[in-house]
Structure 1
């Protein structure tokens, strides 16, 4: 798992990967550590993981991005699609722009943390797209699977 996180965060994700592979659960001590290191993003990220909201898109050229289809919590709300780039530690969501980039009071947003957790736990959905589709996704011209 290549990331741009502090060593303590990377170690925590490695521990989660190891324990989850052995037990298919995350013990309370690791959940508390996750909350301590990542703050409020931890519970929100775990919720995204539970909802199976994370899709890893890959192309034949080896490029990978993670997408999250989030639905507003208001009944009848429209969906929002965020394409996250875990390899360069970037998400286009407002929380990333405000908390990570502007205020610098968070390591990452819930979307990137969910991507890391899904990688660690082996729980992301996988979808293969063509190189042209990946180029469209990376350039912002297309959504998932188009």
Structure 2
């Protein structure tokens, strides 16, 4: 399983602990987030606020995240291997390596920290259809 840089893992863990203790994220954590991710942090928080992240799980235990982007398009995120189907991930994260995550994947991690993911259970067949449908659109 791929891992995030230690500083990001630590920040997300600290944010999760703060949410458990006080149901809010301290300003210094938000500032750190903005320092590390720039404008993507604000865009990701906006996606979280709009409840745009859905955890889709199947009986076999497979799960993916679906993120409704600000453009109205839906992207598939795999948190286990830090992947998003959006063009920004392919370009900025994979090709240019000038970003750690795209805003959609960051929103997934933040929604997990804040416990705001929508939940959807589907059959294994439906999950496969969701994944192959996205591939055919690309």
The TM-score normalised by the length of structure 1 is 0.86
Structure 1 ranges of 4+ moved more than 4 A: none
1:89 maps to 2:89: no
Report deviation, 1:141.
5.8
Task: Tell me: CA distance 1:141–1:48, structure 2 relative to 1, closer, same or farther (3 Å).
Answer: closer
Question: In 2 relative to 1, CA 141–49 (structure 1 residues): closer, same or farther, beyond 3 Å?
Answer: closer
Matches of 1:45 and 1:31, distance apart in 2: 12
- Aligned pair count reads 135
Q: 1:3, CA displacement in angstroms?
A: 5.7
Correspondence for 1:124 among 96, 117, 128: 117
RMSD: 1.6
Displacement of 1:137 in angstroms is 1.7
- The equivalent residue for 1:76 is none
Deviation at 1:112, TM superposition (A): 0.5
Unaligned segments of structure 1, at least 5 residues: 73-78
* Unpaired stretches in structure 2, ≥5 consecutive residues: none
Where does 1:1-146 land on structure 2 (aligned, <5 Å)? 4-72=3-71, 79-140=72-133
Where 2:69 maps in the other structure, the secondary structure is strand
- What is the rounded CA distance, in whole Å, between the counterparts of 1:111 and 1:71 in structure 2? 10
- Post-superposition shift, 1:70? 2.9
CA distance in 2, matches of 1:106, 1:59: 31
What is the TM-score with the length of structure 2 in the denominator? Answer: 0.91
1:10-62 superposed Cα distances (whole Å, 9 cap, x missing partner):
01000000101211211110001111122221111100000000000000101
Q: Which is helix-richer, 1 or 2?
A: 2
Q: Hey, what's the Cα distance between the residues in 2 that align with 1:86 and 1:138?
A: 15
